[in-house]
Amino acid sequence: MDPLQAVHLGPRKKRPRQMGTSVATTSHDIRFRDLVLFILEKRMGTTRRAFLMELARRKGFRVESELSDSVTHIVAENNSGSDVLEWLHLQNIKASSQLELLDVSWLIECMRAGKPVEMTGRHQLVVRRNSSPSHAPGSQNTQAPPPTAPKISQYACQRKTTLNNCNRVFTDAFDILAENYEFRENEGCYVAFMRAAAVLKSLPFPIITMKDTEGIPCLGDKVKCIIEGIIEDGESSEVKAVLNDERYKSFKLFTSVFGVGLKTAEKWFRMGFRTLSKIKSDKSLRFTRMQKAGFLYYEDLVSCVSRAEAEAISVLVKEAVTAFLPDALVTITGGFRRATVRWQGPPRALSELSPSLFQGLLLYCDLIESTFEKFKLPSRKVDALDHFQKCFLILKLYHQRVDGGVKSSQQGGKGWKAIRVDLVMCPYDRRAFALLGWTGSRQFERDLRRYATHERKMMLDNHALYDKTKVAFPLSKLQEARVFLEADSEEEIFAHLGLDYIEPQERNA
């Protein structure tokens, strides 16, 4: 993550404008030689003009720094055709009848499409009838209303979000801010920035101007302040302030240890600790089993898990589980579809399996017993944990098991890497709900449950879907049968909610 893509929520300091500065030219391949563009600085500003020029050049457009006879299109922002003609007149430049005067929206649409788009009335700049230059080349006397942006849902479960993020410069900043608010237990601001990041990740185009944000939900005043700062300055001083904040840096470091939550991080910070080495060497501290394992295998656990390593773990888990439960169905959920175990037939406890499952490979095991009640209502909390039986493991993955002998990303002389694996065991009839809940992403799941509650009068969690609008035959005068909607697949759950099915790879909110 680029540390320069950062944020503050106070007044933003403007950079002093340097008059007469020229844009540094970079050699880019020109794909569209019939078009020669000139971007007008008037009412746009030096910084924004330089940003658009560089972006257009990267897309293959020829953009001139100075106006010349070769220019075929003048692009302006917040100017009419009359304004552009007046500017040309002041520069002692006579406009050619072949010269197109266009609004910046045309250029932005070209960059989104990766090629020149058709010039329509809404793109062409208007010349006022009483304007002194009687004719604007390539312009019209009337202007069509601006295009209406397609409606974007506020719910991530109604948007397809792939890993192709066109707005990473903004979403990285929002993720940092959200994390900082989470560390400070400010739920409102945390949710606001997470929702903003999620909606921008779903957009098929980059945000280039503040006009691009019109009609996009979940973008409050604080969020737009950050977007505007990044558009104008290329970075956000607010995020830089967070990244340099001692409390934020300490909490991020402490919570990177397996088994350390916000309360423990807060305690260590108040005790004056700022490094993990100081914490580990302090004799007065007492660590849980999970924290001890977190420190012991820290370097392995904080490193990224590759696709090859995930697949190797999947094979290892499947081999071990099916040895005890031949009919078990094992699926990776989460980012790789993290390992979720489902079975049909008489249940066997994970406590029976875990110690024997991974002989010689088990580095850590923490069993959480099931508290699942079949007819208990789904939780009203969007982030509620489920009640299925779980096992939090750290397994030893030998390098030779990865890609048929190719070493894993964490080399080292020990010949293996410690990998975290969470096993979840659910009743067979709840497998679709468990699979949906454990697939993520976190924001997708939050919005799915929020949608169910606010739009469909239902309640959804990892166990069940409950329809509050339907009542079954009363069991007695004082009791009504609760209507739980059955589902054998994720597709059926989406259908119950009246939603189009979204594939797992399109839930990266």
Cα separations in angstroms, 280 against 138, 292, 296, 371, 417:
71, 9, 10, 34, 21
Helix (H, G, I), strand (E, B) or coil at 283: coil
- How far is Cα 34 from Cα 98, in angstroms, rounded to an integer? 13
Count CB atoms within 10 A of the CB of residue 500: 10
Cis amide leading into 351 (omega within 30):
no
Helix (H, G, I), strand (E, B) or coil at 160: coil
Phi/psi for 349 (5° steps) reads -70, 145
Tokens of 208: 């280039």
422 is in an annotated binding site: yes
Question: Rounded to an integer, what is the distance from CA 281 to the centroid of its chain?
Answer: 37
Contact 344/428 with Cβ under 8 angstroms? Answer: yes
Q: Report the DSSP beta bridge partners of residue 75.
A: 39, 102
- How far is Cα 356 from Cα 324, in angstroms, rounded to an integer? 9
Q: How many Cα atoms occupy the beta-carbon half-sphere of 399 within 13 Å?
A: 12
Strands 416-426 vs 389-398: parallel, antiparallel or unpaired: antiparallel
- How far is Cα 185 from Cα 44, in angstroms, rounded to an integer? 40
- How far is Cα 95 from Cα 100, in angstroms, rounded to an integer? 10
Tell me whether residue 168 is exposed, middle or buried, using C-beta atoms within 10 angstroms of its C-beta: 0 to 12, 13 to 18, 19 or more.
Answer: middle
- How far is Cα 62 from Cα 343, in angstroms, rounded to an integer? 61
Contact 7/236 with Cβ under 8 angstroms? Answer: yes
Tokens of 260: 């350390």
Count CB atoms within 10 A of the CB of residue 265: 21
Count CB atoms within 10 A of the CB of residue 226: 24
Tokens of 130: 């009483």
Indicate the angle between helix axes 246-254 and 168-183, nearest 10 degrees. Answer: 90
What is the DSSP code string of 295-362?
HHTHHHHHSPPPHHHHHHHHHHHHHHHHHH-TT-EEE--BTTB--EEE--SS---HHHHHHHHTTTTE
The set of residues, in sequence order, having a beta carbon less than 8 Å from that of 260 and lying 6+ positions away, is 254, 291, 294
* Binding residue numbers: 422
* Binding residue numbers for Mg(2+): 422
